[in-house]
Chains A and B, each alone.
Chain A
Amino acid sequence: MLNENDDLSWLPGETAAAMRDLARTVTGAPPLRLTAEATGLSPAWRRRPPGRRFRWSWGAPLLAAVAVVALAVSLVTVRNLPSRQIATLASTAPQATAPVPAADGVPGYYVALHPSAGRSGAPNGLIVGDTVTGKTVAVIAPPAGSSIVSVSGAADDRTFAVAAAPTAGGPGLDIGFYLLTITPGSSPAARLAQLPMEPQPGVIATALSASGKELAVATANRAVTGGPVIRTLDIYSLATGRPLRSWSTTDTTAIVSDVMPGVQLGAYTDQYPALSWIDGDRAVAFPVLSRAALPVNAGLYSLEVRSVNATAADGDLMADSRVIANLSRDHDAAALCGTVFPLVSGNGTTFFCFRPGATDGHTNPTTVRWPLDWRPNQTNLADSAAWRFFPYIKTIGVPAGSAVYPATVWSSSTGATLIIEWTVVPPGSGGTYVRLGELTLGLNEWTFTPLPAPAIFATGGLPGIAW
């Protein structure tokens, strides 16, 4: 085992040796394919007139592969926001088959990770923007020597918890915690202050309660080298910085964050939280994903949403939590939610799935029409027999060969208003773009309203963001 002060001068050499070991396992190569058809590339280049800029165009095989797009993932903090509502109000007419929650609005402000100095690769600060106009409200520099790795919001659309990792190092560093407070009209419009919490190692997810008073922090660490990974869910008081509750487990399926298990915040710049406060801050929902109990069959995984009573005593995370939605045993997970975590509304009764749509076959050499199929459920999570879905399908046109990554990134506490996004990654480098929109549930259908997607989101897709 290495110690803190161990000399690492041997590491580059050993890293090189390890890489050579792995490289040596490659002893041959498949035959070269030099036809467009064989490589899955469209022969469109043959038609390119002289002098025009070359354009990649991908053919059906790759397109079919891309059709298995990744899906919405995050269990985001869900809040009911009274201010800056822009949603179209739902009809108040009674609905016979299922209660229709009153529509609420989208939060006034978003807070997103943003490379400081506008430079890709620089430590992340934050950018505060107006959800409706897209205008920048404030730009926040990262704490000295740190890069911000995640952000989550309270219900008032003014209070956000921020996690930051030291810049000297990488994944696995102790994460420090800060509070961002937005005060529109004042100068500065937003302030970042350090919270009185001890930095924590191995942080994989955080979520600020709707009240903005407590922070849920999930960690994954080994007590001893080679020992089991212990996943812990702690709840901290922001006022004192002290832990209030703690649950832990060695079950590797618990709190699988939205990146690969064991990867801490900071490994990626666009992580979403995997924890969600529900039931009026009385419980924390977390995802449990496993495939061990199921046959190895692409697309079939055991996916549960569990919740733990945030006011109960410390204990075992799995024993003390209950399943509030089982998305694989009673339903065909592949058809319902794929292998992604659903977004759960703050009232704990609604979840949202995204189902990949297949391209509709209406293609030309450069554009594909692509249906995006959101399937919000508007009934009690626990009663799967009563699940009732209100699908919303949006068809978009994207460059052929694009990868499309749709997601539901925010929900009101009632689940009647959503913010959805889709990121389009055209083939080749560059050209990534993000679209945002608001969905508001009426009687039985959703109304879509575009929201501005600031240009900063286009550099690599939607960054780590909270509303």
Chain B
Amino acid sequence: MHEVSIALSLLDIAERYCEKEGYKGIESIGVKIGKASGVMSEALLFAFDAVKIGTIAEKAHLIIDEIPVSGFCSTCNNNFSVKETYILCCPRCGDTSFRLETGRELDVCEMEVFE
């Protein structure tokens, strides 16, 4: 729902980086979006295309790496990875004493830039 804010933050990070390092343009930006981050990839792509116009990232395309929800349950000593966007208990034993290891990512990873 707040993908426009996310797209603007993304653009801000990319612009600051290019300004600091002296790059003139961006061809692509690679991001990791966790399935439990609350951000929809399609909406983010749409928002990014709208906000990039007139910026250093005007020609950039967004490459989204969707990260599944995974974690470790200390009760049944189980590493798990699930398709769901959210889990409330360990998918094997049903206990709630698990910790999420991936799925909440909202990170920029790499950019393809030119001088």
> Are A and B part of the same complex?
no
Binding site for A on B (CB under 8 A): none
Binding site for B on A (CB under 8 A): none
